[in-house]
Amino acid sequence: SYVLTQPPSVSVAPGQTARISCGGDNIGSKTVYWYQQKPGQAPVVVIYDDTSRPSGIPDRFSGSFSGNMATLTIRRVEAGDEADYYCQVWDTGDDPWVFGGGTKLTVL
């Protein structure tokens, strides 16, 4: 089945830019979604359809592709952005909903 690979952790100082990568075989041919999960809470979608933001998500959050990697970029990072972030795609294989292993964003 399809596998998405994320770095386990990313650390950034407040006000700086955080970049969280998500890799997968030929990921450019898929649509990528990103979720934020704060401790003790359910995930919340922050990016859908590769680059779109749901209402209520700050424009500091953006999604992009480069080569064989999708990236979630968080500009002007705040303490409240500290969370686990998961990428997700839909795959036509046996298990359609595929999540990455998650990246813990630490705000220093």
Name the residues that contact another protein, by CB under 8 A: 1, 31, 33, 35, 41-45, 48-49, 54, 86, 88-90, 94-102
Closest approach of Cβ 107 to another protein, in Å? 20
Classify residue 14 by its DSSP letter: T
3-state secondary structure of 61: strand
Radius of gyration of the chain (CA): 13
Closest by CA position to 33, among listed 80, 81, 24: 24
Residue 37 CA to residue 19 CA, distance in Å, equals: 16
Nearer to another protein, 33 or 61 (CB): 33
Q: Which is nearer to another protein, 15 or 96 (by Cβ)? A: 96
Nearest distance in Å: CB 66, another protein: 21
Minimum distance from CB of 13 to another protein (Å)?
26
Q: What is the nearest approach in angstroms of another protein to the Cβ of residue 63?
A: 12
The structure tokens listed for 98 are: 């595929």
Please say which residue, 87 or 107, places its beta carbon nearer to another protein: 87
Give the residue with the Cβ less far from another protein, 25 or 49.
49
* Distance separating alpha carbons of residues 107 and 105, to the nearest angstrom: 7
